Structure 1
């Protein structure tokens, strides 16, 4: 039987009607990052499956100056990040092995070492050892050898990335460098931010869940496109006719990932757009998301500027709609899949490679 024709405004997609319809301006941006009270526990939602391994973005490169220290929390761990005098970024677990001070709050950069604010113990970011204790004639042998976790760090696409692996294994693949991200002919990033109180896997699965586009986003249909499944990355190319003020044009949406934490989408046809999606778990039920958009200056600042901005608004609107679901979604390990759902089972089999069994 065909779906009945909707005649009541309240039959619009539930997420839009109940929560998003009246959110505008600052109210909307505040909602995107505000805590979600009353959600079920991690255990109740089956979210206690660990964090998938991979490279994850933690901050914009421009946000960390030489000699600066910053506290961070990702992967259910407190971290301290600093940029040494050599310009290199280093990250350690945050707590000093001496008396437990959080070195991200008040810590100092001493050359390329991180100095604890409590008693000035100085840590090497590569070795994870204490190199200097200014007031002591000796260094305890326990901290002369590796005594704290060190994190693999790289910078790419104007972001600082750390490698997460639950067993601290070395990186299995590299961050993909995107030429548009640093091309002077493309705009600076236009950045939008969310806190999603759910599972990074549920979020990723959304891309192959074809059926939800009609009921959450109100689209008539969404072609799945040509899927690509690589060793550590996956993607899809979707071709479509797109209406513009200048007539119908051939457009394409090309989506790619490298591991769970790096995702990027290229939109061509109406106005070229690169979306760099920076997605990083904070806790098992909390994911920090930042969407970075860049477009050719000639289009973003020319006669098509309005269309270019409209593309960004529409992408963010769709993410808002999904967030309403994700914020309280349970992970169903034995999900009941029906015809028309899309390749969810294939996706799950593929995504399992990111977990250490």
Structure 2
């Protein structure tokens, strides 16, 4: 019976699954976003690492219309983002350089500039004040760009921001994933979480071969093939996937560009692309959004039920990982044994994304 249970994806052979038992519908959605109880402080979990630099997704392109202003908070920083009349997206620190009003609340777009709601100072995308309606002279300090710049771009139906703790310019471009804009593929099915942990711990999960069996209940340990190429990383995972009908050969192929861009292609049961959008809010809080798209021929045809089931199962696996991530401690010198996967190589690769690698 034990062998049979391990090949049936409906069976919960590990304790993590029992913690999720009974969570369905709205209760599951609430759990995904709620702050967990009994979570140790940042310092106690060694999560006071610097944020890794790179491109990170902040909003769906469709969530910011021309002339619209929105507040954001990422990287422990309050931000304001707007779309000018020219259609371009711009971002600044949220607080007006005049008297500190948060421009994400009540600010408005005038042409391509952002107008502060407090005294109508108007900013361009670099933070230069071009107009003060009641003043004859603009102070010289605000006729210069802000020290902190936030480059933004759009790709894969998302708005991306470049983060670097020292304000360095972007070092690579956001990769375009063709399926994301292919008319033969579905609109995004988006699922959302807050993970109360560290983005490096989450990324390390991708090279941890052993956890698939003990967290997700796969019938075997995955057969990884890794590629390490500068700021890019890829892996191809062949694994036996448990289903009610028994084992099925499947492949998971994922790619990452820097720490903030990742996508995964699932094949074997139903073809699925997952665009994973993970962005740090605070040192122990990650905003996670999974964007799924599938060929319309599968998602809207006779295989529609199976296509939906694949998305549900991928989200279930993320839920299982989240149980650990929400309270996980970062160990700078972990005890690693054979079978764990190339965790040491991963950390060497990831260290390049810290402005001062010695701090990580």
Please state which band the TM-score falls in when normalised by the shorter chain.
over 0.9
Counterpart for residue 16 of structure 2 = 15
Please report how far the alpha carbon of residue 79 of structure 1 lies from its aligned counterpart in structure 2 after TM superposition: 0.1
Aligned partner of residue 44 in structure 1, secondary structure: helix
Q: Do the aligned partners of 1:92 and 1:148 also contact (CA within 8 Å) in 2?
A: no
Give distance in 2, aligned partners of 1:337 and 1:13: 21
Aligned partner of residue 225 in structure 1, secondary structure: strand
Is 260-269 or 61-70 further displaced after alignment?
A: 260-269
Give distance in 2, aligned partners of 1:12 and 1:241: 16
Matches within 5 A, 1:222-237: 222-237=221-236
Q: Which runs of 5+ in 2 are unaligned?
A: 6-10
Counterpart for residue 107 of structure 1 = 107
Give distance in 2, aligned partners of 1:45 and 1:248: 38
Give distance in 2, aligned partners of 1:100 and 1:93: 11
**What does the per-residue CA deviation read over 1:152-182, in whole Å, with 9 as the maximum and x for residues that have no partner?**
1000000000000011101111111011101
Please report how far the alpha carbon of residue 12 of structure 1 lies from its aligned counterpart in structure 2 after TM superposition: 3.7
Aligned partner of residue 237 in structure 1, secondary structure: strand
Is 187-196 or 266-275 further displaced after alignment?
A: 266-275
Give distance in 2, aligned partners of 1:243 and 1:47: 34
Please report how far the alpha carbon of residue 212 of structure 1 lies from its aligned counterpart in structure 2 after TM superposition: 1.3
TM-score under structure 2 normalisation? 0.93
TM-score under structure 1 normalisation? 0.93
Give yes or no for the alignment of 1:343 onto 2:354. no
Q: Do the aligned partners of 1:93 and 1:148 also contact (CA within 8 Å) in 2?
A: no
Give distance in 2, aligned partners of 1:346 and 1:249: 30
Is 326-335 or 236-245 further displaced after alignment?
A: 236-245
Please report how far the alpha carbon of residue 84 of structure 1 lies from its aligned counterpart in structure 2 after TM superposition: 0.3
**What does the per-residue CA deviation read over 1:47-101, in whole Å, with 9 as the maximum and x for residues that have no partner?**
1111101100000000000000000000000000000000000000000011000
Please report how far the alpha carbon of residue 217 of structure 1 lies from its aligned counterpart in structure 2 after TM superposition: 1.1
Q: Do the aligned partners of 1:129 and 1:148 also contact (CA within 8 Å) in 2?
A: no
Q: Do the aligned partners of 1:208 and 1:224 also contact (CA within 8 Å) in 2?
A: no
Q: Which runs of 5+ in 1 are unaligned?
A: none
Give distance in 1, aligned partners of 2:87 and 2:338: 53
Aligned length: 350
Q: Do the aligned partners of 1:242 and 1:270 also contact (CA within 8 Å) in 2?
A: no
Q: Do the aligned partners of 2:219 and 2:241 also contact (CA within 8 Å) in 1?
A: no
Matches within 5 A, 1:266-281: 266-281=265-280
Counterpart for residue 155 of structure 1 = 154
Give distance in 1, aligned partners of 2:21 and 2:244: 26
Aligned partner of residue 278 in structure 2, secondary structure: strand
RMSD of aligned alpha carbons: 2.2
Give distance in 2, aligned partners of 1:101 and 1:124: 16
